[in-house]
């Protein structure tokens, strides 16, 4: 694996994400570019978005699978990149102030979720190091 090459498609995809104010989905990027790039394929959009996310040029939000939680009180979650699981972390001490703070921008907050990404206690204890792919 030596450095990647220039790609017109990739640059356009990147520009489309930057230009959009709405945190576009892959489909949104595709629809936006299609008029000017009729032969663009959705697979290319996905491939490039993920590639750029891996480089840190973009950020990828949310997981592909919906999970359910019987704890309806506010608390935080840790998504473990080793085992893929999701576990609780208890409430953060400043949880309560977050909503009001956010509402200063004119929106109405109904609830919030704080999701950490990292290595859960179980996986961390299992063995110390190893390549930590973000």
Binding site for DNA (CB under 7 A): 1-2, 4-10, 25-27, 37, 39-44, 46-48, 50-51, 64-66
Which residue in 5, 81, 13 sits closest to 47, CA to CA?
Answer: 13
For the CB of residue 17, give the shortest distance to its own copies in the complex, in Å: 5
The option from its own copies, DNA, none interacting with 96 (CB < 5 to 8 A, set by class) reads none
Asked if 131 touches its own copies (CB under 8 A), the answer is: no
Q: Distances from the Cα of 2 to the Cαs of 5, 10, 66, 102, 110, in angstroms?
A: 9, 17, 36, 43, 47
Asked if 37 touches its own copies (CB under 8 A), the answer is: no
Give Cα 16 to chain centroid, integer Å. Answer: 17
Q: How far apart (Å, rounded) are the C-alpha atoms in residues 115 and 42?
A: 29
- Stretch touching its own copies by CB under 8 A, among 2-10, 31-39, 107-115: 107-115
């Amino acid at each position: 694996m030596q450095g990647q090459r220039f790609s017109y498609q990739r640059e356009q995809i990147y520009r489309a994400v930057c230009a959009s104010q709405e945190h576009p989905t892959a489909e949104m990027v595709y629809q936006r570019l299609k008029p000017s790039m009729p032969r663009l394929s959705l697979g290319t959009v996905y491939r490039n978005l993920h590639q750029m996310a891996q480089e840190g040029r973009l950020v990828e939000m949310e997981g592909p699978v919906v999970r359910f939680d019987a704890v309806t009180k506010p608390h935080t979650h840790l998504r473990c990149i080793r085992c893929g699981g999701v576990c609780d972390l208890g409430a953060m001490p400043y949880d309560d102030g977050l909503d009001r703070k956010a509402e200063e921008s004119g929106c109405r907050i109904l609830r919030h979720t704080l999701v950490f990404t990292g290595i859960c206690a179980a996986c961390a204890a299992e063995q110390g190091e190893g390549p930590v792919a973000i």
